[in-house]
Amino acid sequence: MIFNFLWSFAHATLLDAYEGSTRILDVFGFPATFKTHNLHEIFHEYENMRGGYRIKWMDDTRALIIFEHPATGE
């Protein structure tokens, strides 16, 4: 349900590989009430895939989802 909510109001852009070994998804426009656990719920299926991912918050409504392996973020 959160996944559908996020994609109804948010935007995402796949950025170029960072340092040649990762893939970055720029997620923005979601409610400022979202916390890290909300994003983990959405991306949980990628936690154990080829190094998983990490979240870097840019501000209250924008975060970078950094996949440790380029194939995971495709």
Domain with 49 in it: what CATH number? 3.30.70
> What is the count of structural domains for the chain?
1
pLDDT value at 4 more than 90: no
**73 located within any domain:** no
pLDDT of residue 63: 93
pLDDT of residue 9: 46
**18 located within any domain:** yes
Q: Which range marks the domain in which residue 44 is found?
A: 2-67
**62 located within any domain:** yes
Contacts 24+ apart (CB under 8 A), 40-47: 41/2, 41/3, 42/2, 42/3, 42/6, 46/72
42-51 in b/e form (b: 16+ CB < 10 A) is bbeebeeeee
Q: Per-residue pLDDT tens for 33-72? A: 999 999 998 888 888 777 788 899 999 999 998 887 666 5
pLDDT value at 74 more than 70: no
